[in-house]
Amino acid sequence: MNNIFGSSKQKEDGEHWLTVSDLMAGLMMVFLFIAIAFMRHVSIERDKIKDVAVAYQQNQVAIFDALNTEFENDLTSWQASIDKETLSFQFDSPEVLFASGESILKVEFEEILADFIPRYLQVLDKYRNSIDEVRIEGHTSSEWGSGTHPDDAYFFNMSLSQNRTRSVLNYSYFLSKLTNAQRAWIKSSFAAVGLASSRLKLNDDGSENKQKSRRVSFRVITNADIQIRKIVEGL
């Protein structure tokens, strides 16, 4: 009887372990399928981000090429430049822009803007869907009069750069050449930003180039980062 019961017990134990083994194998298969599904999902999202990045780069190049084609014959006379990496159209000659310490546009700068703004808006019009914002940025050198503390100079220059960009935006908005649709886009997508001396231009030796630091730029900011952020948040 013991042998019989023993055999029965062994059989029951064997069945028990067989059932556990089957269960473990089943769980492993489930986890494997979950892992594969997750990896596939991550791969798809990674490809989406890659596609956005490629489209962003292509769009950057297209906007730069369009701006350069339109304004290449004006850059020298306007003493302006276009930065390919930041899509900044920079007016680099401070003596043309404003009187020292003032925020009222010089007549020469008004004439340049009257020619520049309508053409600039026309170039960007075909890229509107990929543009998040256009910033009119005002930059200054770090100095402000003899004996002025650097901290005070920074805030004086901040106020000055903000007032200057507002003057540029105000003059641009009310140009008679603009259509109502163009003014509506300026109102919804353009921003006047004063950056004071936070982004100085430097000489080769690392010292401040005060002349080049005083500038006004129109910078295009595309919405690629917004699209990538939405994809990442969805992971």
Predicted local confidence at residue 51, as pLDDT: 63
φ, ψ at 106 (rounded to 5°)? -70, 155
8-state DSSP, 216 = E
Q: What are the structure tokens assigned to 224, written together?
A: 């690629």
Domain ranges in the chain?
49-231
DSSP H/E element including 1:
none
Predicted local confidence at residue 4, as pLDDT: 46
8-state DSSP, 86 = T
221-234 residue pLDDT tens = 988 766 666 655 55
User: What value does the mean pLDDT of the chain take?
Assistant: 85
Predicted local confidence at residue 47, as pLDDT: 64
Class of domain 49-231: alpha beta
φ, ψ at 167 (rounded to 5°)? -65, -40
123-140 residue pLDDT tens = 999 999 889 999 999 999
Span 160-182, average pLDDT:
97
The pTM score is 0.74
Predicted local confidence at residue 33, as pLDDT: 75
Predicted local confidence at residue 5, as pLDDT: 45
Residue partners of 157: CB distance under 8 A and separation at least 6: 140, 141, 142, 144, 196, 197
| CA dist., res. 143 & res. 153, Å (int) | 6
pLDDT confidence bin for 146, thresholds 50/70/90: confident
> How far does the chain reach from its first CA to its final CA, in angstroms?
63
Span 15-20, average pLDDT:
56
8-state DSSP, 145 = S
8-state DSSP, 202 = B
pLDDT at position 158 over 80: yes
pLDDT at position 45 over 80: no
Which residue reads 């002349």 in tokens? 211
Torsion of CA 126, 130, 136, 137, to 10 degrees: -140
DSSP H/E element including 94:
helix 94-97
54-110 residue pLDDT tens = 666 788 899 999 999 999 999 999 999 999 989 999 999 999 999 988 999 999 999
Which residue reads 């680099």 in tokens? 92
Q: What are the structure tokens assigned to 121, written together?
A: 């808006």
pLDDT at position 113 over 90: yes
